[in-house]
Amino acid sequence: MDNGDWRSPVIVELGGIGRFAIITNALDAANCMSEEWPAEGGPVADEAVLVCLDAVLGKVSAEESREAFLEAAREAGLYVKPDAGSIH
């Protein structure tokens, strides 16, 4: 099964200052939003979970799911570390 791997991870602060999660694919993002999201999910987060699951199924690109996850993080007011795409 394809997890919808992203080209670069998203590092998001969850559960308090200094507690970060490194999300590297659509499946992890969907799980994170379903199980670990600190705020009640809003419409953007609800849609992002569906987009991430669609990426796992190959219906949308992995990068579309990454963008949806980032939008959900913004909606929830979560701190996201700057893009680490150049770090390998």
Q: What is the pLDDT of residues 25-76, one digit of tens each?
A: 999 999 999 998 876 668 999 999 999 999 999 999 999 999 999 999 999 9
Residue 88 domain flag: no
Residue 69 domain flag: yes
Residues linked to residue 5 through DSSP beta bridges, in sequence order: 25
Residue 87 domain flag: no
Q: What is the pLDDT of residue 86?
A: 38
Q: What is the pLDDT of residue 39?
A: 67
Residue 49 domain flag: yes
Per the structure, the count of domains in the chain is: 1
Q: What is the pTM of this model?
A: 0.88
Q: Which domain holds residue 43?
A: 5-82
83: confidence class by pLDDT, cuts 50, 70, 90: confident
Residue 27 domain flag: yes
Cα–Cα distances (Å) from 35 to 14, 49, 55, 88, in that order, read: 11, 11, 18, 28
